[in-house]
Amino acid sequence: MLRKKKLYLRPRKAFEKTRIGEENVLVKKYGLKNKKEVWKTLAKVNYFRRRAKELARSPIEEQEVLFGKLKAIGLKVDSISDVLGLSVEDLLARRLPTIVNKIGLATTPKQARQLVTHKKILVNGNVVNSPSYIVRVAEEKNIFIKIKNKAPKQVESKTENQAGSPAEVLDKGGNA
């Protein structure tokens, strides 16, 4: 089995006070599990920036494809400079727990993350349990909490099952 390569890079300097402080603020504000999620999001932002740089000299039609994809996930971009100006917070604001918290289905970002990981959130009628799920603008109105229907237990009465067990049937005149 082939091992998947990681999708992020660790910071070059392990102990950089300003970076650690900024990451701590993001972890608390968006209810992230650890700093690795910040690094993964930063890698995704860097991917969008790299694509924008590659498309800078391409025809406008090719650029519009990238802009359309970024607009679909809720990022406000109209030019290459807007894509290059994207920040980690722009993408973190589009994650499922953040949207669930913003809608009001949860009171805190941590509670929103817990709802997502415990499979209590439906997006377009499907359960989504990945907190890193990026919510598209079209899906934002279709986010709901899954409601569990508890049907009362039905007790079988003797009138429904009048024959009883096979032993009772044999005792009542069966041919055995």
Domains of the chain, first to last: 7-90 (no CATH), 95-148 (3.10.290.10)
- Residue with the bigger pLDDT between 109 and 161: it is 109
Residues 89/26, Cβ–Cβ less than 8 Å: yes
Task: Tell me: pLDDT of 142 over 90.
Answer: yes
Taking the C-alpha atoms of residue 95 and residue 134, their distance in angstroms, rounded to an integer, is 5
Burial 38-62, CB ≥16 within 10 A → b, else e = bbbbbebbeebeebbeebeeeeeee
pTM for the model: 0.78
Q: What pLDDT is recorded for position 9?
A: 87
Q: Give the pLDDT band (50/70/90) at residue 48.
A: very high
| Percent of the chain whose pLDDT exceeds 70 | 85
pLDDT of residue 164: 53
pLDDT at 158: 54
pLDDT of residue 153: 67
**Quick check: 162 pLDDT over 90?**
no
Q: 88: closest CA among 42, 35, 156, 155? A: 42
